[in-house]
Chains A and B, each alone.
Chain A
């Protein structure tokens, strides 16, 4: 749980300064860092979008272990529309997001009536079905040969040819989406999501149509997962079905748990921390081991996630300070 008592919360000015410094640092990466970092961070930004877009559903108490399925739908939709019909990136990205959101409604409408682990099982099945469709529907997706030749992203007719410009696109998308999701979470709507997650009979008794609100939260998450997928498609320019499988879906969930679910920042911290730290193992079997260990350590030692670490350390320090003078009672 986050420590949200007014006395402990850092001032708004400090938060604004921290955000400004972080954004400034992010802006300086392309001129100062190499292509490797530009590429890596652009992918980290998509992971941040994915992690944050899982929050609306998580806040409603719905365990979605199939989020990468919606990313996959966004990626393939956008890639195919751009490749075969020459749709500009803005439109193909939007189409990918909308299709992902619509599939979210179709899956969510029946599935969200299920509780807890049953809903989670449906989402696991979903992500595998999407992966299998992408593998088997060869005429459309090229199956396991992978879909190559996805056009580079363009904005207002100008193709973003350099990695740096694509990096800025990713940064912009991430900041915009984070702002929207944060605003939603800190609103009347977010309050309703929290109420459903905490005690849904009580929310119902106050007139909340919990089925409709769970569906709306789920749909919003699917939409932004679709955006992340569409960007990914035009950035990597090659789509391979297993990339969006169960493993990726669990990673998105693990970002949230390791970062901490008690506050919006948790998803961002978790996605950044884990995707940067797991980079050396990317694609190898060690990646799974790394994520499993991170999850285990979190559950055992930091159930509230990394965002509770500063509070715990401060608590430890004050405990030490309090217990330090005690060994001299004789005086």
Chain B
């Protein structure tokens, strides 16, 4: 059974179908790439999957359960966690506090508990947050405010926060955008390591080298519709895909 499956997923904004009847399946344990030219509907697709937008029609099934139209926090609680395209962090908090928020779901909250505890944050949660920071290579920056981290570290921190929420499926929206070769290489090997630890990955990325090198299965969107899918080799030689990226003239030439 696939971990994630959409059926005829459609989102219309007025007359424009940003996502149009897309069937998408993600098998457990896979690293799947979602690519396509600008405006192809990739981010809209992510917003639908994570509950930030409601589909106009179609359904989303996660781990056998219909999650269509659920609110974002409920979807996260089921184990489908996303990151954001732009560097979205709690900038005024330390890296550790950012990750602590990722642990929100497993936290014991209650006014009583909070008032009676002597610590600011529960020590076991702090320990787990530090573990996640170590795993992502940010261990040394735990107490630095997020805003003072270099861009590459900020992006990784975004992934660390999502990881703390213990996802079964992690949606990464352009994880290596704006990074140099060295940084993006490190992030992509982190992505592989996350998968090897048991989290399925669906990622959107413009950096083709990163996508082709990491993903085992690729889905190509164009004008909101699924154009092609297959292994990196199949997709990169597909006539339709080349046409979509480079224009009709070149493909026919």
> B-contacting residues of A (Cβ < 8 Å)?
1, 6, 180, 183-184, 186-189, 191-192, 194-195, 198-199, 201-210, 220
Contacts of B165 in A (CB 8 A): 206-207
Set B90, B120, B143, B162: member contacting A195, Cβ < 8 A? B90
CB-defined interface of B105-143 with A at 8 Å, one 1/0 digit per residue?
101010100110100111001000000000000000001
Evaluate contact between B100 and A205: CB separation under 8 angstroms.
Answer: no
Evaluate contact between A188 and B92: CB separation under 8 angstroms.
Answer: no
Q: Does B208 contact A (CB under 8 A)?
A: no
Query: With A188-B100, A191-B93, A194-B90 as given contacts, are A207 and B76 in contact (CB-CB < 8 Å)?
Result: yes
Set A194, A201, A207, A208: member contacting B93, Cβ < 8 A? A194
Closest to A4 in B: B145
* A7 CB to nearest B CB, Å: 12
Query: With A188-B122, A201-B88 as given contacts, are A207 and B105 in contact (CB-CB < 8 Å)?
Result: yes
> A-contacting residues of B (Cβ < 8 Å)?
50, 52, 71-73, 76-77, 81-84, 88-93, 97, 100-102, 104-105, 107, 109, 111, 114-115, 117, 120-122, 125, 143, 161-162, 164-165
Q: Name A's interface SS.
A: helix
Query: With A180-B115, A183-B114, A206-B101 as given contacts, are A188 and B73 in contact (CB-CB < 8 Å)?
Result: no
Query: With A186-B120, A194-B92, A195-B90 as given contacts, are A205 and B101 in contact (CB-CB < 8 Å)?
Result: no
> Can you spell out 30 A-B residue pairs with CB atoms less than 8 angstroms apart?
A1-B92, A180-B115, A183-B115, A184-B115, A186-B120, A188-B100, A188-B107, A189-B109, A191-B97, A191-B101, A191-B121, A192-B104, A195-B93, A195-B101, A199-B88, A199-B89, A202-B84, A202-B88, A202-B89, A203-B101, A205-B72, A206-B76, A206-B101, A206-B104, A206-B105, A206-B162, A207-B73, A207-B76, A208-B73, A208-B104
Evaluate contact between A206 and B161: CB separation under 8 angstroms.
Answer: yes
Bound Cα distance A184, B143 (Å)? 21
Contacts of B52 in A (CB 8 A): 201, 204-205
Contacts of A195 in B (CB 8 A): 90, 93, 101
Evaluate contact between B120 and A204: CB separation under 8 angstroms.
Answer: no
Contacts of A184 in B (CB 8 A): 111, 114-115
Contacts of B105 in A (CB 8 A): 206-207
Set B76, B92, B111, B164: member contacting A189, Cβ < 8 A? B111
Evaluate contact between A204 and B72: CB separation under 8 angstroms.
Answer: yes
Bound Cα distance A261, B161 (Å)? 26
Bound Cα distance A210, B51 (Å)? 14
Evaluate contact between B114 and A189: CB separation under 8 angstroms.
Answer: yes
Evaluate contact between A198 and B92: CB separation under 8 angstroms.
Answer: yes
Contacts of A220 in B (CB 8 A): 111
Contacts of B120 in A (CB 8 A): 186-187
